[in-house]
Structure 1
Amino acid sequence: MTRYVLMVFAGACCFGILSTFVKVAYQEGYATADISGSQACLGMLVLWALYLLKKPATPAAQTTTAWWKVALAGTSIGLCVHLYYLSVQWIPASVAIIFLMQFTWIGMLLEWCIFGKRPSRLQGCSILLIMAGTVMASGLCAQRNIILPLKGILLAAASAVIYGIYVVASGRIGNDLPALKKSALIMSGSTAAIFLVAMPGFLFHPEVLVSGLAKWTVFLALFGTIIPPLLFSAGIPRTGVVLGAILMTAELPVAVITARLVLGEAISLLQWAGVAVMLLGITGGRK
């Protein structure tokens, strides 16, 4: 069991470092569309290659889910990533992750509104804890002179809403498909969405990749769209969904710590307390 717990934890840590290094890529002059588009595209190609090269040990089971439904669900994660990366142009990476993690209670509300699955009393308390922790962790209470650009906040909030939609949709669509195939289809939809919405420049000027974008493409695809899905698909079935979801909250403190170490973003004790409160609410809401 320890092995699979570490797999899920490592996958969450991979997600947690992304926003910080997107900030570093911005400092080198690369555009959001090129960063998110190249990451999704390379991830899609690698996942399809792994799926096609893998020899099934047993005959494939009959599936009923149409491929386009899974790809359509994947468009939401593509839009989420693109909006999230846009948000860190305007607000600190350690704050952007705070807003993104609101997807946990947004997903609960979507399930209630769409499927009639009403949150339990414990989950209701968790929502309140997450909201309280968000105010604390954002830093607005610690320093009155902090002004976060509204555009960055709205972009991060929009990414959280879309991520909530993705979590609800992906949990119900394509579960009869092999994990690699589902991941590849999701990334296909993700790539298509980013290409349609943002139209990355490297599609028309491939020399951008050679000039230096390639290193960020490989890094972000590896830690954002290749390693985590593989670790989650192997680990979560063994740990169980509840424990897996709790382990995935490691993304939050890892993102904050990475932003502090790499970007030098100041984080107060009150903000750390807010992160702790959010983690308490998130883990409580998963039970």
Structure 2
Amino acid sequence: MFRIIGLALGALLPALASSALAQPALLERGRHLVEVTGACGNCHTPMGPQGPVAGRILAGGTVFDEPPFRAVAPNITPDPETGIGRWTDAQLARAIREGIRPDGSLIGPPMPMTLYRGLSDQDLAAIVAYLRTVPPVANRVERSVYRITLPPAYGPPVVSVAPPADTPVARGEYLANAVAHCMECHTPMLPTGQNDRTRLGAGGMEFRGPWGVSVARNLTPHANGLGGWTDAQIVEAITKGVSSSGRQLAPPMAFWAYANMTQQELGDLVAYLRSLPVQP
């Protein structure tokens, strides 16, 4: 059975661990979170012309060189020398949800730590359990360099997070923020390297890569955003990378991962985007 990952989850995991049937369900939930809705590989897996590089899944090394930082995605496979193989479950859970490594140092952007603080206890447990099953890859990556001052922490220790309320908008908000972190890229960034939450979903961030420069779209119901789009067009953009005009959308959005989202997840996400305050 999987190991209990920290005091905050101590009350949750015994209930899951009490049944032998819980483990497959937990791992499948973790796989879906890591590979589909969370699209962790979009940053942590090296990408080639055809997408994720085989044999290097979650091995890190992707460089994000922006004015505030030169961040290098770490190896999050269970390799004991270059990955997370020697981290305890509690240390891994804390790194994911609070951005604090086992040595006490802070994980900086573009890891969306302020959003991951909203991961529910159940989903955090599932992610940790699944990452333990990923094939280890030996790949030592360079350290990130920050040209901004990182905060001492992203907030007080997270004790426990409940699942979202069982409504489409609440589930969509959880998905777009705590899991898929859509708002990390689609919300303007402050000079501190954190998102301007007063302009949630307003878009405008630039992303440079082999494709040139792509600009994050306004996701609010504004006329310059998704106001004129149908629900089906929004879903097609998320899962196929095609805009309402039929134009092919550019990376770095993980269309390859989001194509495997469930119909309920997509419906919830659309419901949440429709509920956002209009941003010009």
Above 0.5 in TM-score? no
> Which has more helix, going by share of residues?
1
**So what's the TM-score if we normalise by structure 1?**
0.27
> Which has more strand, going by share of residues?
2
**So what's the TM-score if we normalise by structure 2?**
0.27
Q: Which has the higher contact order (CA 8 A, sep 6+)?
A: 1
